[in-house]
Amino acid sequence: MRVTLGANQYGKAEVRVVRVRRDGPRHELRDLNVSIALSGDLAEVHLSGDNGSVLPTDSQKNTVYAFARRYGIDQIEDFGLLLARHFVDSQPALGRARVRLTEYGWQRLGPHSFQRDGAESRTATVTVTADRTTVESGLTGLVLLNSTDSEFNGFVRDPYTTLPETDDRILATAVEANWRHRDGEPADRTATREWAGSYAGVRAALVGAFVDTYSRSLQQTLYAMGHRVLAERPEIAEIHLSLPNRHHLPVDLAPFGLTNPGEVFVATDRPYGLIEGTVTREADGVAGPVDGGP
């Protein structure tokens, strides 16, 4: 039994690029965080220190900036495709490029003035190999709360169960979602506005399902959110949701002679429930384990 190199990848992470488009008095702004991971025939660099097939991570960073100037940045999916294809096409040693992009939003205040949006960000992950291109879009940091229409009842009671059943609780979560576009969708890769419309549609479906669902568990809400995305958006093949259950505990005010009819809560940090699941249209789902997690 010998020791050998297994799977590996390398790249530049967290390249921060801000692109201003200043064709006229009204500027446009794009603010991205780009991470690149490349893999391929890189055994020699590990085994012998021969760097002959290594494109430096510094060059990868430079490519981000040069491409931002040469091609502009409109939709992050397109910018990721440009970058990933460039690395695979130009470097013979590379079999796969994966580019992850986070876009920080800015609201317009004036022709050249902007205010940063909050914690919510739009994301994309583009993976290119010789024979397949995959595009995932996503979002992170979307914090949602329903102050009623959430219950949790009928669960297993084992010897360690003390949780009371409840038919009215706060349900709050910070949505992290990643959805994979069907192959060939949108059909015309040059139609960049497709990505924006698709993103807006998926986001609206996620928020709408969270708001509309009378929740018997966060799992049920998760499925409702994923189901609505797939029902409304034919271009999406699959969606993965990671939903921390941000517990809001009602405070016992009886010691102070007060009732608490669902009005005063402690917002807790830790521990939190973590509910993760995939909703898919590709085949019969298998309720098997999700890799990854906390």
Burial class (CB in 10 A: 0-12, 13-18, 19+), 7: exposed
Non-local (6+) Cβ contacts of 14 within 8 A are 33, 34, 35
β-bridge partners, 129? 96
Instruction: State which of positions 85-114 bind its own copies (CB under 8 A).
Output: 90-91, 95-96, 98, 100, 106, 109-110, 112-114
In whole angstroms, the minimum distance from the beta carbon of 192 to its own copies comes to 18
Count of positions on this chain that bind its own copies (CB under 8 A): 154
- Binding flag, residue 3, its own copies (CB under 8 A): yes
Nearer to its own copies, 31 or 77 (CB): 31
Question: DSSP labels for 48-65?
Answer: T---TT---HHHHHHHHH
Question: DSSP labels for 172-239?
Answer: EEEEEEEEEEPTT-SS-TT-THHHHHHHHHHHHHHHHHHHHPPBS-HHHHHHHHHHHHHHH-TTEEEE
- Binding flag, residue 63, its own copies (CB under 8 A): yes
149 close to 214: Cβ distance less than 8 angstroms: yes
Nearer to its own copies, 131 or 269 (CB): 269
- Binding flag, residue 258, its own copies (CB under 8 A): yes
Nearer to its own copies, 183 or 260 (CB): 260
Nearer to its own copies, 110 or 188 (CB): 110
Instruction: State which of positions 32-61 bind its own copies (CB under 8 A).
Output: 35, 37, 39-43, 45-61
State the DSSP code for 85.
H
Nearer to its own copies, 5 or 191 (CB): 5
- Binding flag, residue 5, its own copies (CB under 8 A): yes
- Binding flag, residue 201, its own copies (CB under 8 A): no
- Binding flag, residue 265, its own copies (CB under 8 A): yes
Q: What interhelical angle do 218-232 and 193-212 show, nearest 10? A: 140
CA–CA gap between residue 93 and residue 38 (Å, rounded) = 10
Instruction: State which of positions 153-182 bind its own copies (CB under 8 A).
Output: 153-163, 170
- Binding flag, residue 193, its own copies (CB under 8 A): no
Residues carrying an active site annotation: 12, 57, 247
